[in-house]
Structure 1
Amino acid sequence: MEIIKTIRPGDDGSKRYHDKYGDQLCAVRYRRSPCKNTVYTTVEIIVAQREAYRNKNTKPTSPQNPTEWVALKIAYDEVELRAEVRKIGGRWSRTAKAWVVKRSMAERRNMAHRIVEGLIDQCLDVDI
């Protein structure tokens, strides 16, 4: 089934489901059937939670790959910092609203704290 729309708790259209499921509500989704004749409303709720545990046999994670591309969040009013990112070859991603640079360059310029892990997956409009 194709997802037409996803509504987060607190957004318009989720109130009646939030009243019913409370803090367990994660999302309300509208899905279209494969034959395109029916629209289904589904809710995603939390049914259980527990502490995450670590496997004792796992190896520690390896250090990050310095040649991989990462996404940086830089505020609009940080003009000088944006110019510096441009100088080191950074590219702007309109879809993720983030700057894309190599990890090594970000760390070298003391911008590692601005890296948003996983956000690079949303930077599909940038050729890397």
Structure 2
Amino acid sequence: MLSDMKAYAHLKPGQKGTMRLVEKYGEALLCVRYRYDEVRGVKLKTVEIVVDERPMKGPRFKDSDMVPVSVAFDETELREQLKKIRAR
């Protein structure tokens, strides 16, 4: 439904046209979009708000995990250091 509509304005909180929504949603307000639906001939105002916030889980990798690392060809000093510690 929304993908078929064209957005003609994308506003951040505090910009003109968002003040009442900032009062209503406060810090939870992320953005306001004004859209129009050519099929139905109507204008819409949509809001994006934060409804849930949780801390992220632990780190993606453990200290002992092997991870891919790209080293540029011209980084010879770094390449030598990696060879000394037998990195593959």
Report the TM-score, using the length of structure 2 for normalisation.
Answer: 0.60
SS in 1 for 2:7: strand
Alpha-carbon spacing, 1:57–1:21, altered in 2? closer, same or farther (3 Å): same
**Among 42, 46, 56, which residue is 1:42 paired with?**
46
For structure 2, the 5+ residue unaligned runs are 76-88
Any unmatched runs of 5+ in structure 1? 67-103, 108-128
The DSSP-based 3-state class of the residue aligned with 1:22 is: helix
* Deviation of the 1:62 alpha carbon: 2.9
Higher-Rg member (1/2): 2
Q: Which runs of 4+ in 1 moved over 6 A?
A: 55-58
Equivalent residue for 2:68? 62
> Residue 24 of structure 2: which of 20, 35, 39 is its match?
20
What is the CA distance between 1:37 and its match in structure 2? 1.1
Q: Number of aligned pairs?
A: 69
Counterpart residue type for residue 6 of structure 1: H
Q: Percent identical across equivalent pairs?
A: 29
Relative to structure 1, is the Cα distance of residues 60 and 10 closer, same or farther in structure 2, using a 3 angstrom cutoff?
farther
